Structure 1
Amino acid sequence: MKILALDTTSGACSVALLSNGQLIERFIQAERDHTRRLLPMVDEVLTEAGMKLAELDAMAVSRGPGSFTGLRIAISCVQGLAFSVDLPVVPVSSLAALALGARRAHPEWGRSPVAAMLDARMQQVYWGVYSAESPNDSLITEAVQNPDQVVLSLKEAALPAPVYGAGPGLHYEAFEQAPLAEVDLTSLIRAGDIAQLAIPLWERGTAVSAEQLEPAYLRNEITWKKRQKIRSQ
């Protein structure tokens, strides 16, 4: 399978081509200029592979959660590219990709669960917990919460110990009380991990058309549900 993945969810910009098990990737840690950098990186990766966009089987992108602006940049780019050559798109959880990257960087963590955390601003984090057996599916429903709520949820959850933590969202002081054996605040999302996760999702049949691709903000979804509840009362 040949799949091209893009990501601009957080403080990095990356593009990766996974073709029959071989990975070609470009990764830049930069807070700005994602829009300017992304398409040239796509061209570089495709050129190195000697491949045209139309030869791909699918594209993949982080669906979120994450920065509103960051998500929109990559999603809009993928929509334009996929639509131009009629390619399906596989949406991948940014948190699952963060956890997979941390597990790859820390082989000593073995197959233990990884709690992935992204800073959601306003004293909150986006988070989920991912296992090696089912890396696309959070053991606790992905959510946006304040750190104290996350710590309580981790303590109450029946997760197999030890549990490790990954991501910049773990910088809050409250996480010092979390039942985490070790944390890596430097973990970032990489397009290569999104491509790896997209393969089993593709096999599940979760690909969508470019027009159907939508970001998963979590915060907006919760607000919408609350509004719907108020209106129904």
Structure 2
Amino acid sequence: MPTILQIETATQVCSVALAVDGETIALKEEKAQNIHASSLTLFIDEVMNIAKLKYADLDAIAVSKGPGSYTGLRIGVSTAKGLCFALDKPLIGVNTLQMMANGYLSQHPNYGGLVCPMIDARRMEVFTAVYTNKLHEVVSVNAKIIDDKSFVLELDNNYITFIGDGAAKCETMLDSQNAHFSTVNFNSAANMSNLAYSAFQNENFEDVAYFEPFYLKDFVFTTSKNKS
């Protein structure tokens, strides 16, 4: 009965879940800007208390590894690695986009189309991928600038549901009767429960010492033009 602590900080959502045998038993999450540093450890303590578990009861730590927010990923992965070192537990990395698609498909078990999770990457760019209803990747993870030519071939032949905080801004550009947009949040640590459980069963663990988030793009520092 593996008990896994799960952390999701790739977007504005700060989310922590506990799962036993791939089933979520406790969840704490909130969506707001810049709360990860101040809230993540509090959320972890809260889900542990809800489940009435001690940290020694954990069998592994799972973390959403990206792509996503540079700062959010850095905080989540650093926290997960710190727990793994302190508790001597294995680390599981879960692809953020796959986790989002998994969340949508778990809520729509009879869905027959494709799923396209999108994470906002500023302006008209998104981090994205496309998955089948069996969670097989048909378009690999990439940083994509959305225009009226995006996903034309895929939408010609498939019904696609676009999800995530990057999907809403793309709705007017993807003008097709086969394009559907969901406003439900799927950036939740609860949506990695069965993925983390499968990784644990297969001993698909990360090297805690060398593991880094999957940023996809280099972080770009911006300097204010207003100098006082």
One fold, TM greater than 0.5?
Answer: yes
Q: Judging changes above 3 Å, is the alpha-carbon distance between structure 1 residues 196 and 148 closer, same or farther for their aligned structure 2 residues?
A: same
RMSD: 2.5
Number of the residue aligned with 2:162: 165
From the two aligned structures, give the one with the greater helix fraction: 1
> Is this contact kept in 2: 1:115–1:130, CA < 8 A?
yes
From the two aligned structures, give the one with the greater strand fraction: 2
> Is this contact kept in 1: 2:6–2:193, CA < 8 A?
yes
Number of the residue aligned with 1:226: none
Residue identity in the other structure for 1:112: G
Q: How many residues align?
A: 217
Q: Which runs of 5+ in 2 are unaligned?
A: 220-228
> Is this contact kept in 2: 1:148–1:174, CA < 8 A?
no
Number of the residue aligned with 1:145: 144
- Equivalent positions of 1:209-228 (< 5 A) are 209-220=207-218
> Is this contact kept in 1: 2:25–2:51, CA < 8 A?
no
Q: Judging changes above 3 Å, is the alpha-carbon distance between structure 1 residues 196 and 108 closer, same or farther for their aligned structure 2 residues?
A: closer
Number of the residue aligned with 1:227: none
Residue identity in the other structure for 2:193: A
Task: Give the secondary structure class of the aligned counterpart of 2:138.
Answer: coil
Task: Give the secondary structure class of the aligned counterpart of 1:211.
Answer: coil
How far is 1:181 from its partner?
3.3
> Is this contact kept in 2: 1:155–1:179, CA < 8 A?
no
Number of the residue aligned with 1:230: none
> Is this contact kept in 1: 2:3–2:20, CA < 8 A?
yes
- Cα distance in 1 for partners of 2:133, 2:3 equals 23
Number of the residue aligned with 2:104: 102
Q: Judging changes above 3 Å, is the alpha-carbon distance between structure 1 residues 109 and 66 closer, same or farther for their aligned structure 2 residues?
A: farther
Residue identity in the other structure for 2:142: A
Residue of structure 1 aligned with 2:60, choices 52, 58, 61: 58
Report the TM-score when normalising by structure 2. Answer: 0.84
* Percent identical residues: 29
Query: Bigger shift: 177-186 or 6-15?
Result: 177-186
Q: Judging changes above 3 Å, is the alpha-carbon distance between structure 1 residues 108 and 18 closer, same or farther for their aligned structure 2 residues?
A: closer
Residue of structure 2 aligned with 1:175, choices 157, 173, 177: 173
- Cα distance in 2 for partners of 1:31, 1:161 equals 35
